[in-house]
């Protein structure tokens, strides 16, 4: 590999030849090993880069690619320790010109454990938050169902109805949470599917209003505007619905007054801008930067705090941008910019 290109890699890279001599060291490897290129190049990698496994055994002796089993082709990422104590995650590839042939090249990829640790901490935090979010509705479900079962004859229909509708709402909450978590895991893994087709944004906005009205909101509270002829937008209609229902749901739940939905050509680009505004208290200046983070919620009326995180992920999966600010009426204003035109992938296909 080109040495300059190797230096651009975030990971460390060390390559040794058939004689175990170091042939290439990139900038990442210099940083992680604390040795300069000059110190390493040309030396036997087993001496230049001593590594131990976590039980303190010499790793080169256990794995020796040059005299070990001639069918080994490397190993997966493994935690190894530099004498001196620094931990590295090491992945190795042993290149052989043919099956069973001696190695022609050993490529080591080194990675700092820092990022991994941060990821694991995030992971632990995520699991405990999710467990907590799942437990609270289930506690109500369990409490109310036991009460209804035990005191069936003593409860009035009114009381039973109240308890069962709470149970239903909590079951819906758990289902929604799980759906959101699945979307998030796809999003975080970069595997969220977007099935683009030509969409009618005005119809999508009106559909949201119909849904809200069907759910018991007052029709007069919603305004839909379309300003000017719109360029063609290719997007996934189901995902757009998900985006809009989150934003409109927030405007109704966290905001107040009229909810204004509008779409217009983007003044700064060739796409469109969709605005969802309300007349409530809005989001305090100091919280504007946090609303799109996982599990952040500003008040007790909130749900799980995943809604806007999912919304942002969905917008970005469409190569769009989302921003939040204060509307002139004082409430919250969410602004989504979506690009227009047929995406390259569809044009070719």
Ligand X SMILES: Nc1ncnc2c1ncn2[C@@H]1O[C@H](COP(=O)(O)OP(=O)(O)OP(=O)(O)O)[C@@H](O)[C@H]1O
| Interacting residues with ligand X (CB under 6 A) | 246, 250-251, 254-255, 278, 280, 282-283, 291, 296-299, 302-309, 332
Question: Shortest Cβ distance from residue 131 to ligand X (Å)?
Answer: 16
Give the Cβ contact number of residue 256 at 10 Å: 15
- C-beta of 24 vs 247, nearer to ligand X: 247
What is the distance between the alpha carbons of residues 106 and 92, in angstroms, rounded to a whole number?
7
Question: Shortest Cβ distance from residue 260 to ligand X (Å)?
Answer: 11
Binding residues for Mg ion, rule CB under 5 A, total 2
Among 117, 167, 110, smallest CA distance to 143 is for 167
Question: Shortest Cβ distance from residue 179 to Mg ion (Å)?
Answer: 13
- C-beta of 242 vs 250, nearer to ligand X: 250
- C-beta of 65 vs 307, nearer to Mg ion: 307
- C-beta of 106 vs 192, nearer to ligand X: 192
Question: Shortest Cβ distance from residue 290 to ligand X (Å)?
Answer: 8
What is the distance between the alpha carbons of residues 35 and 48, in angstroms, rounded to a whole number?
9
Question: Shortest Cβ distance from residue 252 to ligand X (Å)?
Answer: 8
Please list the residues that pair with 260 across neighbouring strands. Answer: 223, 277
**Which H helix or E strand runs over 38?**
helix 37-40
What are the DSSP calls for 85-124, one per residue? Answer: S-EEEEEEEEE-SSTTPPPSEEEEEEEEHHHHHHHHHHHH
| The only residue of 208, 250, 304, 327 in contact with Mg ion, by rule CB under 5 A | 250
Burial of 335 from C-beta contacts in 10 A (0-12 / 13-18 / 19+): middle
Q: Which does 170 bind (CB under 5 to 8 A by kind): Mg ion, ligand X, none?
A: none
Question: Shortest Cβ distance from residue 219 to Mg ion (Å)?
Answer: 22
Is the CB of residue 246 less than 8 Å from the CB of residue 307?
A: yes
Give, in order, the Cα–Cα distances in Å from 32 to each of 53, 60, 111, 242, 334: 17, 18, 8, 44, 43
Question: Shortest Cβ distance from residue 217 to Mg ion (Å)?
Answer: 15
Decide: is 208 part of the binding site for Mg ion (CB under 5 A).
Answer: no
Strands (E), the chain: 12-16, 22-25, 74-81, 87-95, 105-112, 197-198, 222-226, 234-235, 259-265, 272-277, 321-326, 332-338
Is the CB of residue 110 less than 8 Å from the CB of residue 12?
A: yes
Decide: is 327 part of the binding site for Mg ion (CB under 5 A).
Answer: no
Among 211, 208, 203, 209, smallest CA distance to 221 is for 209
Decide: is 307 part of the binding site for Mg ion (CB under 5 A).
Answer: yes
Q: Which does 306 bind (CB under 5 to 8 A by kind): Mg ion, ligand X, none?
A: ligand X
Decide: is 282 part of the binding site for Mg ion (CB under 5 A).
Answer: no
Q: Which does 18 bind (CB under 5 to 8 A by kind): ligand X, Mg ion, none?
A: none
Q: Which does 297 bind (CB under 5 to 8 A by kind): ligand X, Mg ion, none?
A: ligand X
Question: Shortest Cβ distance from residue 130 to ligand X (Å)?
Answer: 12
State the residue number with the nearest CB to Mg ion.
307
Is the CB of residue 27 less than 8 Å from the CB of residue 110?
A: no
State the residue number with the nearest CB to ligand X.
303
Is the CB of residue 309 less than 8 Å from the CB of residue 294?
A: yes
- C-beta of 99 vs 300, nearer to ligand X: 300
- C-beta of 178 vs 346, nearer to ligand X: 178
- C-beta of 266 vs 278, nearer to ligand X: 278
- C-beta of 242 vs 304, nearer to ligand X: 304
Q: Which residues bind Mg ion (CB under 5 A)?
A: 250, 307
């Amino acid at each position: 590999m080109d040495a300059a290109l190797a230096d651009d890699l975030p990971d460390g890279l060390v390559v040794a030849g058939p004689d175990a001599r170091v042939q290439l060291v990139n900038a990442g490897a210099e940083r992680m090993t604390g040795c300069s290129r000059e110190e390493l190049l040309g030396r036997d990698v087993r001496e230049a880069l001593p590594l131990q496994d976590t039980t303190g055994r010499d790793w080169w002796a256990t794995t020796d690619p040059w005299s070990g089993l001639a069918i080994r082709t490397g190993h997966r990422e493994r935690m190894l320790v530099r004498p001196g104590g620094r931990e590295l995650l090491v992945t190795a590839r042993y290149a052989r010109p043919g099956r069973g042939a001696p190695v022609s090249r050993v490529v080591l990829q080194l990675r700092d454990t820092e990022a991994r640790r941060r990821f694991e901490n995030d992971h632990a935090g995520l699991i405990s938050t999710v467990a907590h979010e799942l437990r609270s509705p289930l506690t109500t479900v369990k409490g109310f169902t036991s009460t209804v079962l035990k005191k069936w004859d003593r409860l009035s229909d009114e009381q039973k109805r109240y308890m069962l509708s709470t149970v239903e709402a909590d079951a819906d909450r758990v289902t929604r949470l799980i759906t959101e978590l699945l979307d998030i895991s796809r999003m975080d893994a970069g595997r969220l599917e977007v099935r683009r087709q030509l969409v009618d944004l005005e119809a999508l906005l009106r559909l949201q209003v119909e849904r809200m009205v069907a759910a018991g909101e007052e029709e007069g509270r919603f305004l839909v505007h379309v300003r000017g002829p719109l360029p063609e937008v290719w997007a996934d209609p189901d995902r757009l619905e998900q985006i809009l229902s989150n934003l409109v749901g927030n405007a109704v739940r966290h905001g107040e007054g009229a909810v204004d939905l509008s779409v217009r050509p983007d003044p700064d680009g060739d796409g469109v801008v969709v605005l969802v505004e309300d007349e409530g208290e809005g989001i305090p200046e100091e919280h504007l930067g946090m609303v799109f983070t996982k599990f952040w919620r500003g008040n007790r009326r909130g749900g799980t705090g995943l809604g806007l995180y999912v919304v942002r992920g969905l917008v970005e999966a469409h190569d769009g941008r989302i921003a939040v600010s204060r509307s002139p009426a004082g409430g919250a204003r969410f602004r989504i910019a979506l690009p227009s035109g047929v995406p390259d992938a569809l044009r070719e296909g």
